Amino acid sequence: MLSRDDILRARDLPTEELAIPEWGGSVRVRALTAGERDAFELEMRDSRTNGHSPNVRGALAVKVLVDEQGRRLFEDHDAATLAALDARPLDRIFTVAARLSGITRDDVDELEKN
């Protein structure tokens, strides 16, 4: 059985390098933490509730794009800036981040309904 310390020492956030030819290189995408996923889902629900169109791709990308040490490249407020970029790279980043984070198509559909 795992102990509390075993669990807390675990480094369980998988990453994946993703080629982005449109940007001339590659990026590192990591899975969301549990808290980041909760915040992302709440942010998407709140956007819909307040009558705004959520920036799903940009909002997720700022949370999952990291450097080689695992530090985020962007702050949450950078989501709008990323949303102004070509959608194709952000679609690919979203797809990888969703897979690494266990976000299913049903989860995305549920966020879109709310």
Residues 66-107 have pLDDT tens digits of 999 999 999 999 999 999 999 999 999 999 999 999 988 776
Phi-psi region of 18 (alpha: psi -120 to 50; beta: other; left: phi over 0): beta
What's the whole-model pTM score? Answer: 0.84
Helix (H) or strand (E) holding 52: none
Q: Where are the domains of the chain?
A: 35-113
